[in-house]
Amino acid sequence: MKRTKVTWLFSLFLVFALLLSGCQKNSNEGKKESEKDKIRVALLLSGSRGDGAYLDFVCEGADRAEEELGIDLKVIEISESSDYESNLIAMANDGYDLVIGGSTSFGEFITLHASEYPDVKFAVIDGMAEGENVVSAQFSFADGGYLAGVAAAELALDTSVPGIDGKKAIGYVGGMDVPTLQSIERGFKEGVASVDPEIDVLSAYVGSFNDPVTAKELSMAQFNQGVNVIMCPAGGSGLGIFEAAANENKYVIGFDVYEQGEYEEVYFTTVVRGISERVYDIIESVTDGTFEGGTVVTNTVSNGYVTLSDMDNFKKITGDAFPEYILTDVDKVIEDMKDGTLLIED
């Protein structure tokens, strides 16, 4: 009798152990399956986070997707252009579901290699690439420039704002004399002229996106000619423009920049291109199965991606002197673009 009881207890222990082992196995398998189901996204940057501008907006969209969509995100900061292609290939070989080239610099390499990885989806931001498994995200430039031109002209004429003397002169300092910035300049001038065709727009190009010294010299020359506000799609060179504006108590219209930091007091407004939103949308299209390769998507004022910042920073600077009507007039221009009343060629 005693032996039978021991045998029964031993058998019960074996059954319990087997059940526990099975539960642990199923739990581990479920965990592995869950991890396997996560969409894996690799984001390649032509530089590093922390630029306070374009690359930070790209990362912002990916970070938001990681938080809200539950993706597995890998961000690779690449300092040397000679390493762009090898990193792209490495991520594709590693089986990432989506490989994003964070700037136009990756377009050529995505076109070259996308067909070699038909099971991998690719995207290039602010550039063009070809392939049935590729989405290219482009941005209109002239319409954002037009909005900035309208706002700049109205500010230049409003002598109730501190630092504005009413002179009909506005500045434009670009990084490099390339088609995209020429388009911004053309749109900007058209926007200025729509308010007052007699306003003179002084234009200059630094010749580099990373030469703040020259940018400061060009800006100072324009301020000395009576300019009170400068539009500056200049990348890293913009730091020189901000410094010059701070020295002269003048204002700057930024492009892809955060209105904060050392020179926050100079920001009038910023052209916002919806970069982070587009990055997020592309990642979401992979997670929800709507990714459509072989397409080009473009951010414009008309589709709601491109706009001007809310000018909250400028409100803090000017207080009761803030020209609220500028926001109202800019909103009217945006509505005209959306309904087709106003067409800006880009």
Q: What pLDDT is stored for residue 15 in this prediction?
A: 43
Quick: pLDDT tens for 275-334. 999 999 999 999 999 999 999 999 999 999 999 999 999 999 999 999 999 999 999 999
Q: What pLDDT is stored for residue 258 in this prediction?
A: 85
Q: What pLDDT is stored for residue 209 in this prediction?
A: 86
Other residues' Cβ atoms within 10 Å of the Cβ of residue 169: 17
Q: What pLDDT is stored for residue 32 in this prediction?
A: 39
The domain limits of the chain are 38-139+276-299, 142-272+309-338
- CA geometry: angle at 88 spanning 83 and 92, to 5°? 150
Quick: pLDDT tens for 232-257. 999 889 999 999 999 999 999 999 98
Average pLDDT across the chain, whole number: 90
Q: Which CATH architecture has domain 142-272+309-338?
A: 3-Layer(aba) Sandwich (3.40)
| 38-139+276-299 and 142-272+309-338 in the same fold | yes
Q: What pLDDT is stored for residue 22 in this prediction?
A: 53
CATH code at 38-139+276-299: 3.40.50.2300
Q: What pLDDT is stored for residue 36 in this prediction?
A: 55
Collect the ranges in the chain with pLDDT lower than 50: 1-10, 12-20, 23-25, 27-34
Q: What pLDDT is stored for residue 27 in this prediction?
A: 45
DSSP string computed for 8-68: HHHHHHHHHHHHHHHHHHHHHHHHHHHHHHSPEEEEEESS-S--SSHHHHHHHHHHHHHHH
Q: What pLDDT is stored for residue 167 in this prediction?
A: 95
